[in-house]
Amino acid sequence: MSYKELNFKVPIQSKDYDECSNYVVEAIGAIMTRSIEDGNNKIVINTNLKLGLPMENINKIAGPFVEAWAVETFQRVLEDSKNRYLLINVEAKERLYMADVILQFKRERKSPSAITAEVDVKATAEDIPSSGLSPNITSFKRIRTAYVADPDYIFVILSLKHKVYSTKNKETGLFDGVMEVVSQNTYDLKYLSATDISYNPALGSGQLQVRDIHYVTITKRTTWEFCRLLDKKFINSKKGYREWLKMAKANNWIKSND
């Protein structure tokens, strides 16, 4: 059977999905921006290296530090009694999970449930031109399955741009490395334009990538439209339709004919 002839499990999102997505994207962006503007954006790394951090390779270790900073920033908001973002839960995830942190927001909506967003934090260097080009986001199989399991699944990409410098510690005479988060961009993965999303067939079921995380175009679409877009990118790759069909059957993306 051809792709068009298959009996798909079509995910139907809630009517207020777009409102919920906009809310969490704006809230996450506002939390990050306020932390940067308030000066709570520096990560100090003490080292006994007399010449400080190896700046030429600093981007290789910056990611985990920036991710940890983002989680702590969300935690501070959660613990703030004047939390105006209605953030009610922050859960840092283990390394192999799809996202780095899961956030929940309380907001008036038709259904009584909170809004949940899974956030993938991407650290990019301000002074490295190639930083932010085609980063791996998540595996094709996992994200495609997630949207079938939950049509209202919100997967947010939080891009944090940083710069690194060293300052001399007057007490020790050594240099302290400082990672400073200088800007942020926040996107709902489902709304990135077709040209911004690419598919890399390497590694298992392949990886979704963003061509340039700093410059993207937003295209509003439904969950089912996004699933079809993902399928098209997979099928048009060297893996082809047969591999896609095998994966679709194994992960219950199509209905059984039995």
pLDDT tens digits along 78-122: 999 888 999 999 999 988 899 999 999 998 766 667 999 999 999
In a domain, 61, yes or no: yes
pLDDT recorded at residue 10: 97
Q: In the chain, what's the furthest Cα-to-Cα distance?
A: 74
* Residue of 167, 170, 186 lying closest to 42 (CA atoms): 167
Q: Give 182's Cβ-side CA count (13 Å radius).
A: 12
Q: Which tokens sit at 160?
A: 């944090």
pLDDT recorded at residue 202: 86
Print the domain residue range for 190.
Answer: 15-250
In a domain, 10, yes or no: no
pTM, two decimal places: 0.91
Residues 118 and 93: their CA atoms lie apart, in Å, by: 10
* Residue of 133, 157, 155, 160 lying closest to 144 (CA atoms): 155
pLDDT mean across residues, the chain:
90
In a domain, 91, yes or no: yes
In a domain, 214, yes or no: yes
160 touches 124 (CB < 8 A):
yes
Torsion angle defined by CA atoms of residues 233, 93, 186 and 44, in that order, rounded to the nearest 10 degrees = -130
In a domain, 2, yes or no: no
pLDDT recorded at residue 239: 94
In a domain, 7, yes or no: no
In a domain, 257, yes or no: no
In a domain, 1, yes or no: no
Question: Once rounded to an integer, what is the mean pLDDT over residues 144-164?
Answer: 95
Q: Quickly state the pLDDT bin for 132 (edges 50, 70, 90).
A: low
Number of domains in the chain: 1
Predicted confidence (pLDDT) at residue 139 exceeds the cutoff of 80: yes
166 touches 56 (CB < 8 A):
no
Ranked by mean pLDDT, which of 57-61, 124-128, 224-228 comes out on top?
224-228
